[in-house]
Amino acid sequence: MISLTNRIIGLLALGLTSFAGQLSLLAQGPAENPPHYKVLRYDEDYSYLNDVFQQTDQWDAIKYIPIGNCDNTYLSIGGEARERYEFYHDEDFGDAPASSKGNNGYLLQRYLLHGDLHIGPHFRYFGQLMTGLEDGRIGGPHPDVDRDAFDLHQTFADFIAPLEGENDSITVRVGRQEMTYGSGRLIDVREGPNLRRSFDGAKILIRSGETSVDGWWSKPVRNRVGVFDDDPNPDKSFWGIYATRPAPILPEGNVDLYYLGFENRDAVYNQGSGYELRHSLGTRLWGNPVPWEYNLEYIWQFGTFGAGNINAWSAAHAVRYNFYDTPLKPRFGIRADIASGDNNPNSRNLQTFNPLFPSGVYFNLANPVGPSNMIDLHPVLDLHFGEQVTVTTDWDFFWRESLNDGAYRLSGSLLRPAGGSDARFVGNSPSVTLIWSATRHLSFVASYVHFFPGQFLKDNTLPSQPIDFFTTWIDYKF
């Protein structure tokens, strides 16, 4: 263990040395040849670095470390360091721990280090260590998303068998792994918060031409605060099949089709608590017929909750237009989502939509409310200042879908019960976010979010103060 710790410290020291060098190179912009880092780091392929003339980046020496004289046998090392500051005024509408003035500011740190070992064309092992730290938050860290001293975030093996096509294959993956599908509405790594999400499970991945089909059974991992104590959640299970392929009948289109199964032995809704077995059938239609972009998703959920039945649904629409020939290259879009709520809290049946394991940046970086029992209308404008700086402004408006159901957090927990209010309007939330991709490795983000509470929140007996949220972070990847 001491030897392993010394190696990790040595690699982090190397990263900090390179980080200092990067600060003097900010104006140079991203490298042209190396690929961008991916959301799922295990999807990165550095086999091209077998050609030494392709090694143009300062980290390339550890991105491809040949082992012996065997073809396709190498080790790739990578990682990330993110330093983040968050500030809330009246978090949770004034119901969260704070100073006497309603303020709460704190520092978050995240460190990831991974190794990707390929032994020939048929076997691969990927392992990733994670540390998440929180300092200064009144009330302590947010549960499950702020603090994890040191743990195995991912550890899985791939067994790969080629199929007839040149790039066709079937892969069996076993172990702890991140997952993200589609737009992250139902399955995502939860990138926004300090700690990312992973699952313990087994997966089969089939690739044939432009068609991909994944099937899996898993249990979500609980991020706990100690050392090597993360474990599969005993109350929850998650399984599914997800397929993606081109859709020639759509303009530059693609289609996703999926089934997702979810079990929660201790589910809680406005109606009450009980055992939940939920099935989701969905489709996503998406494409980029320049200058347009579109992303449409429709989901039906059914199953059982306690002694009753589940019948829930969601429809999500996002359309954008790019003004490529205009100064600042504005991209204007509109998002309109609706997710069902419960019709009658006194009935055994449940109509509340469950977002399962959604993106950590669902509506904005503050995520004051979640998508369950929610209608939202969300105009968005992106402005590009050169190739490296993007400013996004947006304003989201929220209404309850059902007046007999409450408002929920992004995590799925109940934010405010229905409480007898006849008001539909929950509130509105403007935000502005700046992203500076200084180099391929180094990026800066700053965002401000405000939430104006609507009549539904004001009718509730719990606090209903406006929320102010600010965050900024610096992120370094290698």
pLDDT of residue 165: 84
Domains of the chain, first to last: 2-477 (2.40.160.100)
pLDDT for the residue numbered 13 = 40
Cβ count within 10 A of residue 83:
15
Task: Please state the rounded mean pLDDT for residues 331-357.
Answer: 97
Q: Give the dihedral of Cα atoms 255, 256, 257, 260; nearest 10 deg.
A: -170
Of all residues in the chain, the percent with pLDDT exceeding 90 is 89
Confidence of residue 238 (pLDDT cuts 50, 70, 90): very high
CA distances for 153 relative to 81, 121, 178, 325, 411, angstroms: 15, 25, 8, 44, 20
Q: What are phi and psi of 227, to 5 degrees?
A: -105, 125
pLDDT digit string (tens) for 370-403? 999 999 999 999 999 999 999 999 999 999 999 9
Mean pLDDT of the chain: 93
pTM for this structure? 0.91
Phi, psi of 381 (to 5 degrees): -135, 125
The pLDDT confidence band at residue 34, using thresholds 50, 70 and 90, is confident
> What are the residues whose beta carbons fall under 8 Å from the beta carbon of 224, sequence distance 6 or more?
148, 151, 230, 231
Mean pLDDT of 207-233: 97
pLDDT tens digit sequence for 467-476: 999 999 999 9
DSSP E strands: which ranges in 323-401? 331-339, 374-385, 389-400
Which residues are bridge partners to 238 per DSSP? 218, 262
> Residues 33-62: what's their mean pLDDT?
93
Show the tokens assigned to 389. Answer: 């700086």
Nearest to 167 by CA among 204, 203, 205: 205
Does residue 31 carry a pLDDT above 60? no
DSSP type of residue 350: B
| Percent of the chain whose pLDDT exceeds 70 | 93
Q: What is the pLDDT of residue 11?
A: 39
SS3 45: coil
Residue 135: count of CB within 10 angstroms of its CB: 11
Q: Hey, which residues does 104 pair with through a beta bridge?
A: 88
Q: Where are the beta strands (DSSP E) in 235-307?
A: 236-247, 253-269, 272-287, 292-305
pLDDT, position 169: 97
